[in-house]
Amino acid sequence: MAHIAVPSMTCPQLGMNMILQSEALLDGPVKQFTSQLAEWDRQIDPLALPDDDACLAAITQDIDHCLAECAQLDQALADQVRVLRETQQAFREAIRSWFDKSPLMKHALAKPRGYAGDYQMLTCVYNGQAQGTGLGGYLDRYFLTSELGRAVPLRLNMAREFLIEEAISRATMTVLNIASGPGREYQHGWDLPEGHHVNVVCVDQDEAAIEFVEQTVIPTLPYTIELQMVRHNALKMGNARQNIELFGRRDVVYSIGLCDYIPDRLMIRLLSGWRESVAEGGTVYVAFKDCEQYSKTKYQWLVDWYFYQRTVEECRGLFALAGYDMEHLEMTRDTTGSIINFVARNLPAVSLSRQETTVEPAEQPAIAVEG
């Protein structure tokens, strides 16, 4: 059994009850969980494909039982962030020798591109296929069948459907995709009417993601879609004047994987900048995660993957503060309920005659990427 290091908790203000709760988790449920993982690892052929649904269900039950204990500690230590993070780190170290057998879990935790939701991770989630074998393959499947593992591919499909509907309604359409990642929404289903044409500019900071799209997506596109990749920092796109100078006024401005990593002050600035960047009659399409529809615990505790936790009303509040017409702001969800898509249509082309202000210093984003 792996040795479980209890985090040092010497803050004078920290109550003894909180210390005991953290130690009890690591000394009780987590030790039981690691014993279960070791037993599963012994039972499952390391080269076997993870195709036994009953085995997956049993492993899922063991993981979720342990995470239920972790969720209770989340609440108990909500005001003790340092102690909570130390406890989570100790938990991850305790399970790491087994969870590293999962290529998806290992990638998310290692963050080779600097963040968990990189284009490689998103591509694997979109494909929905376990990458590992043995216990690692079942942990891959657990990851892919989690709330967000199911929701993220649906988010992609909804974005694709939205774009196609918009393209059918316009003879020509210009699009700005912010934090574009692997660009999978432009593949499949783009059977546009004769004479229709779409020009897309995809903005991403990750050079590897840009190269991936240029090599694997652009060559497969129909002649109706013209796509250009641009390396640019999405966090600087709260300045409408600069957006227009760089990319022109676009009929559609959208982002589906960025916003859950951005703190409120900066997010309001970005939403405002996107609204002011569209062409006359343009559309802004933005996806957020609904924190009430998925468990943050499994992502934070298992792979150190954090999103800003926002309810529907808190998301709507960001749009209101960014100057959107709330009466006409549309909202749709994926079938899991975890993803909220906000759509603002028929926006006016905002006059930028006044001098644009610079972006105010803001809280640091969780990470400046898609996911």
pLDDT of 248 > 60? The answer is yes
pLDDT of 363 > 70? The answer is no
Cα gap 96→106, rounded to integer Å: 9
Q: Does 151-347 carry CATH code 2.120.10.10?
A: no
| Higher-pLDDT residue of 346, 6 | 346
pLDDT of 195 > 90? The answer is yes
Angle (CA) 123-235-233 rounded to 5° is 65
Question: Do 285 and 341 contact (CB within 8 A), yes or no?
Answer: yes
Collapsing DSSP to helix, strand or coil, 368 comes out as coil
* Cross-strand bridge partners of residue 340: 288, 333
pLDDT recorded at residue 18: 59
pLDDT of 327 > 80? The answer is yes
Per-residue pLDDT band for 370 (boundaries 50, 70, 90) equals: very low
Kindly list the domain boundaries of the chain, sorted by start residue: 16-145, 151-347
pLDDT recorded at residue 364: 41
Q: What is the pLDDT of residues 11-47, one digit of tens each?
A: 444 455 555 566 666 678 899 999 999 999 999 999 9
Beta strands in the chain (DSSP E): 172-178, 197-204, 225-231, 250-255, 278-289, 330-333, 339-347
Q: How many CA atoms lie within 13 A of 366 on its CB side?
A: 22
Task: Name which of 10-19, 234-243, 361-370 the model is least confident about.
Answer: 361-370
Question: Do 125 and 149 contact (CB within 8 A), yes or no?
Answer: yes
Residues 93-109 have a mean pLDDT of 97
pTM, two decimals, is 0.89
Q: What is the pLDDT of residues 120-153, one digit of tens each?
A: 999 999 999 999 999 999 999 999 999 999 999 9
Residue found under tokens 């013209």: 226
pLDDT of 365 > 50? The answer is no
Q: What is the pLDDT of residues 264-281, one digit of tens each?
A: 999 999 999 999 999 999
Between β-strands 278-289 and 339-347, what pairing exists: parallel, antiparallel or unpaired? antiparallel
Joined tokens for residue 180 = 């574009």
Between β-strands 225-231 and 250-255, what pairing exists: parallel, antiparallel or unpaired? unpaired
* Cross-strand bridge partners of residue 111: none
